[in-house]
Amino acid sequence: MANKHDNKCPNNNNNNNNNNNNHGDGKSITIDELMQNLNKKQRRTLHREYERQGNIINDKVTEVYEKFKLSSKDKNEITNVDIPSIESISVESQQDTNKNSSNDNLSVFTSPIKDEQLSSIDNSSSDLFYDFQAENFHAEQGAPFVCTTCNNVGHLKSECPELIVPNMIDLPDISQEWIHILSSLCYYITERCKPRQSDTENREKILKQLQKQFEKDYPDCNLHAFGSFYNGFGFRQSDLDVCIVFKDQRDENTDEVIQIMRKLLKSMRSNSDIFENVQAILHAKVPIIRSRHRRLQIEIDISFHNMLAIENTRLLKAYTDIDPRVSQLGYMTKHLAKTCDIGDASRGTLSSYAYIIMVIHFLQQIQPPVLPVLQQLSDSATKKNSLYRKCSKWNVYFYDDLLKLNDLWKNENKLSIGELWIQFLRFYTEQFNYDERIVTIRQIEPLLKYEKGWFRQTIAIEDPFELNHNLAGGLSIRNWTTIRRVFIRARQQFGLQSKDVDISKPDMQFIEASKQHINMDVLNSLISLITFFVKIESKNSPLLLKQLFVHIFFNPAIWIYCSIDVQMRLYTYLATEFVTCSEIYHLIQ
């Protein structure tokens, strides 16, 4: 048996001859002789394998040796090695074990390869032991939790802070004085938002101009106005939505519609003194021509054969004609959505049309109801087709003979608009079952989600005519949570009598529903306002500055919902510019 201190380099020919002679004599090869052609890492690996499986047969050790031998850069130097025996290498193995005991506490099959050990491998093609065990990858910690809503790590979607809605407090009995204030607020919002007579006249003038312009190319066309301005819930600044209908229904052919649109587009652009910013949006769900009246600055959207929208407008207008409280509650809801930035379907929230459907549904469900279900009313009960009126592929029937409505339905609800506003907020925060039911205005009976196959975890709102259309289909869970927060906050703000509300100036500015209301631009504008007050020499500057700091800059209720960047900007300003500016101190003292 060779001494391990006498091991020679495998490149030495003499040493190679000695090995061959030993093989011919039938001598056993020591473990050092097996290891002399291996690098440090390979030798340690072979030795650990021998220790772990010391009782296995000789050919197992030879197999491991042959693997290392083939990957060594001097693998051609060694040939014809006899199979070693367990007895012949036991003494050497024990010596080598004592020598490397400090490094051999872990088995190769439970320890990952370290970076510093990789540098000791002579050949990049060497076979390595990769031990894919859980503990080597810190699997005991488990996979990281990633929220699919906010994309942050550490929590699941079910625990996302952006999906948490505040707890609702119990509302006390509301005094008649507070109800009177809320009713006055509803009247005020309605009168401020609804169109004036001049607004209606201006849109009628535009409609006549368009009719005259288009008749030059298409004498058989008819223009119909529709949309929010004409459904009883329009704002003064609402767009003018126009639908072009042809007698021969050529507008039902998509290709022909595109040709007509291009011709009308050219015609409108030729009248640049009347219309500006004329452009076609051909690839929308409903292709339109968008423009603006140059003098009146009214936005115009022109579509073709949009008969369903016309029928929707007629239906909503009929509901507003039944009871004035319908439009008042609609204006309050739309104003709340606009103020709190939750009323834009293109940005993932709900459209104003969807909020109006919610209002009508509530007024139909409250007891006693404020509104009937017009799509279920008929004065011809004996006729099978009395509840059907076809428009394209939809049934657009509803009872529209309002002069005879009292013969079929009686309005027995006497609640004031202030009381209805509170009940509306409570209905959609306390009573409505969003998990199971759908908001619908075509039937008085509950409409369940499983009937339609709508299982999204948000509110579901059915279009009254296009029954497969969910008006909340584009609503994300995050935005739905924001809407719920708004309604819960509004319920609390309006349901609790406030001593700070001035009845002479009722408004909804004390509803703060969104973190984004106070952003960096707003803060920078406020800081610029301070600079302006400091520079001007006015006797009112000290008072204005004091009010600005006391009620805004030093009011934590305003800044607590802001982003971290806005808060840091505020604190930085107060700690630097505010403290070092002697003029501010002098003015507000």
Is 24 contained in some domain? Answer: yes
Tell which wins on pLDDT, 228 or 29. 228
Is 23 contained in some domain? Answer: yes
> CB-based contacts of 108: which residues, under 8 Å, 6+ apart?
45, 48, 49, 52, 129, 131
At 299 the pLDDT is 93
Mean pLDDT of 225-247: 91
Any idea which of 162-176, 321-335, 498-512 has the lowest mean pLDDT? 498-512
Is 178 contained in some domain? Answer: no
Using alpha carbons, select from 471, 445, 296, 451 the residue that is nearest to residue 375.
445
Q: What percent of the chain has pLDDT over 90?
A: 37
Mean pLDDT of 146-162: 77
At 499 the pLDDT is 61
* Most confident by average pLDDT, 25-39, 217-231, 519-533, 545-559: 217-231
Q: What is the pLDDT confidence band of residue 120, given thresholds at 50, 70 and 90?
A: very low
Is 45 contained in some domain? Answer: yes
Tell which wins on pLDDT, 149 or 104. 149
Is 187 contained in some domain? Answer: no
At 4 the pLDDT is 39
At 134 the pLDDT is 62
Tell which wins on pLDDT, 141 or 306. 306
**Cβ burial, residue 126 (10 Å; 0-12/13-18/19+):** middle
At 22 the pLDDT is 47
Mean pLDDT of 374-390: 78
At 39 the pLDDT is 77
Tell which wins on pLDDT, 85 or 372. 372
Mean pLDDT of 119-148: 61
Is 18 contained in some domain? Answer: yes
Q: What is the pLDDT confidence band of residue 353, given thresholds at 50, 70 and 90?
A: very high
- 383 pLDDT more than 90: no
What's 549's DSSP letter? I
In the chain, DSSP finds a helix count (H) and a strand count (E) of 22, 9
Among 137, 168, 185, the domain-final residue is 137
Q: What percent of the chain has pLDDT over 70?
A: 73
> CB-based contacts of 254: which residues, under 8 Å, 6+ apart?
none
Q: What is the pLDDT confidence band of residue 221, given thresholds at 50, 70 and 90?
A: confident
Tell which wins on pLDDT, 379 or 465. 465
- 8 pLDDT more than 60: no
User: Average pLDDT, whole number, for the chain?
Assistant: 78
Among 81, 106, 137, the domain-final residue is 137
Which domain range does residue 532 map to?
518-588
At 168 the pLDDT is 87
Mean pLDDT of 272-286: 84
Retrieve residue 6's tokens: 């006498």
What digits encode the pLDDT tens for the residues 505-549? 544 444 434 444 677 888 888 888 888 877 776 777 777 788 788
Is 168 contained in some domain? Answer: no
- 296 pLDDT more than 80: yes
Any idea which of 23-27, 83-87, 286-290, 296-300 has the lowest mean pLDDT? 83-87
At 17 the pLDDT is 43
What digits encode the pLDDT tens for the residues 407-432? 999 999 999 999 999 999 999 999 99
Characterize the bridge pairing of strands 299-304 and 240-246.
Answer: parallel
Tell which wins on pLDDT, 35 or 79. 35
- 112 pLDDT more than 50: no
Among 107, 137, 167, the domain-final residue is 137
Q: Structural domain tally of the chain?
A: 2
At 146 the pLDDT is 82
Rounded Cα gap, residues 431 and 425, in angstroms: 10
Is 499 contained in some domain? Answer: no
At 56 the pLDDT is 56
Number of C-beta neighbours around residue 281 at 10 A: 13
**Cβ burial, residue 527 (10 Å; 0-12/13-18/19+):** middle
* Most confident by average pLDDT, 13-17, 71-75, 127-131, 534-538: 534-538
